[in-house]
Amino acid sequence: MNLDEARAAIEEHMLAQAESVGELLEQFRSRIPAVLVGGPGWDKLMERTRGLPISLATAGFGFEFRLHEQEPRADLGLALFQGSRSAAHFEAWSRSRPEDASAAAVVRLLHEMGREESELRRIAAKLLLEYDIDPAHHGRFPDPGIFLYPTADALPDEGTVQEPEDLRVLVDAVAMASGWETESAERRHAERLFLARPPGAQIGGLGAFPARKRGLRMAITGIRSTRELTSFLERAGWPGRPATFAPFVSDLEARGAFSHLAAHLDVHPGGVRPDLGVSFYAQDTQWLKDIEPWMGIIDGLRAPGLVVQEKLSALAESWAGVETVFGRRGMLLVVRGIHHFKVSLVGDRFEEVKAYVFCLVFPPLQADSATAGSAG
């Protein structure tokens, strides 16, 4: 069975497991620590995801665990691959909801990713939707963030954005999907970040949050050291102060805690915003299902006042490994692990610390081939 056949078999199995993302997540409630997501945070997550089609979760799902705050809540990431059975299922679902402009925009973007003569098809393989889950929110849910990945979870040195023209294709596609007119100034600022990247670093993803103020969020991945990071930010014209975060990153570097970093920067027509996210990856290998490679970063995050210790401990004790579970409509093989950690700065202070975790779900017979190609 080749990769495409394996993925199609997985999707067919998963599309039969539930009607909605919420129905699928409910089957894993006992395996998600309440200290990470619980109470109103879980209730709001269920309220949001019961209205989302199961096609958004056939490739697995991811949480953003907010380690810096006591409230047990998490944001949610869901992916679609152009040309997949799940993408076709999502398109059929969206046609029944013509009032949902966000879903229609996703469908248009998928079509452009699949159009044979489209430059976007060559550059982007994966679309990720990021859902903000705020327990205090009332009324209409905000549209999700829309992110394009130049290759599906490319490792450092493997990016498909090779020239500024490639980046412009991504920028224009994200602006279109967000309902914005393209801005030449915004393109220029994005290109400056691209040209300032260190050797071997790539565009790891580019997206926007249409429900927030205008701006593109760029991830520059494959940065190998604190010095590379600070030098890049200086060349890129980032208006913040490297001294705010450099000691923390240097400490993790001295521990040998990460293999590479990513810098997340917000670009808008007026320039680069001072907010900064720095992500830490334990290895170049994606989809790590073991906790041991992450212990250097976890220990480094235990500095007083940086995270809620109970959350960090629950993460380390529970969110790694492989197990077979009984779903409502059949057995499932579940692979859980940490994708990366991100520390965000606003001004001269650490504002957020998040763990980005994944949960890949397979029919047991397809588990080996699926895991090997889950990022592809």
Mean pLDDT per 10-residue interval, the chain, length 376 residues: 65 88 92 96 97 92 96 96 90 90 93 90 91 91 93 56 91 94 92 94 94 94 96 94 91 95 95 95 90 96 89 95 83 92 88 94 62 41
CA 317 to chain centre: 22
C-alpha closest to that of 193 among 167, 159, 224, 226: 167
Measure the CA–CA gap between 62 and 74, rounded to whole angstroms. 10
Cα separations (Å) of 20 from 51, 113, 141, 326?
Answer: 7, 25, 16, 18
Cα separations (Å) of 349 from 110, 247, 277, 306?
Answer: 38, 13, 12, 11
Cα separations (Å) of 33 from 41, 74, 129, 293, 362?
Answer: 12, 12, 23, 21, 22
Measure the CA–CA gap between 372 and 83, rounded to whole angstroms. 19
Q: Do the Cβ atoms of 202 and 158 come closer than 8 Å?
A: yes
Question: Quick one: pLDDT at residue 369?
Answer: 46
Q: Do the Cβ atoms of 261 and 281 come closer than 8 Å?
A: yes
C-alpha closest to that of 336 among 3, 25, 31, 14: 31
Residue with tokens 């915004």: 186
CB atoms within 10 A of CB 230: 18
Question: Quick one: pLDDT at residue 5?
Answer: 65
Measure the CA–CA gap between 103 and 173, rounded to whole angstroms. 15
Cα separations (Å) of 325 from 18, 27, 28, 35, 354?
Answer: 15, 9, 9, 22, 27
**Token pair for residue 239?**
């208006």
